[in-house]
A = this chain, B = another copy of it.
């Protein structure tokens, strides 16, 4: 499990004069082991299996740390809570979401990306990121 990610996190922690703790290790481990798109609450449930005394606030704090260190990115599927996915060794992609069963398919489409860039340039913008979510019904739910 994620040697490399462990290293990224520890580098970030050292560079920022922070401390490496077993809680942070546990959260990272559970996060890497999870499916993508976990919420803080879900991750908390996963972590407590290994680390029963951990507090929910620590999970939130660690998720922010992971986001700042570049290991996680925040997602928002409009269900009222933030979700997180790991970014390291996991390239950019967009989401296709079934509104019935919640299934999520990840995809990338270079041409779409290229056209987005064009739109931005045409408006004088310098693009830093984007978010594309497609909503619909998957094969089973149609």
Contact = CB atoms under 8 A, between A and B. Distances in A.
Interface of A: 74, 76, 78, 96, 98-99, 105, 107, 109, 111-112, 115-116, 119-120, 123-139, 142
Sort A-B residue pairs by CB-CB distance and give the 8 closest, nearest first.
Answer: A124-B139, A127-B136, A125-B136, A130-B134, A126-B137, A132-B132, A129-B135, A128-B136
A107 B134 CA distance: 17
Q: Count copies of this chain in the complex.
A: 2
A125 B134 contact: yes
A39 B130 CA distance: 22
B133 A130 contact: yes
A132 B78 CA distance: 13
Nearest to A103: B125
A115 B132 CA distance: 12
A78 B99 CA distance: 20
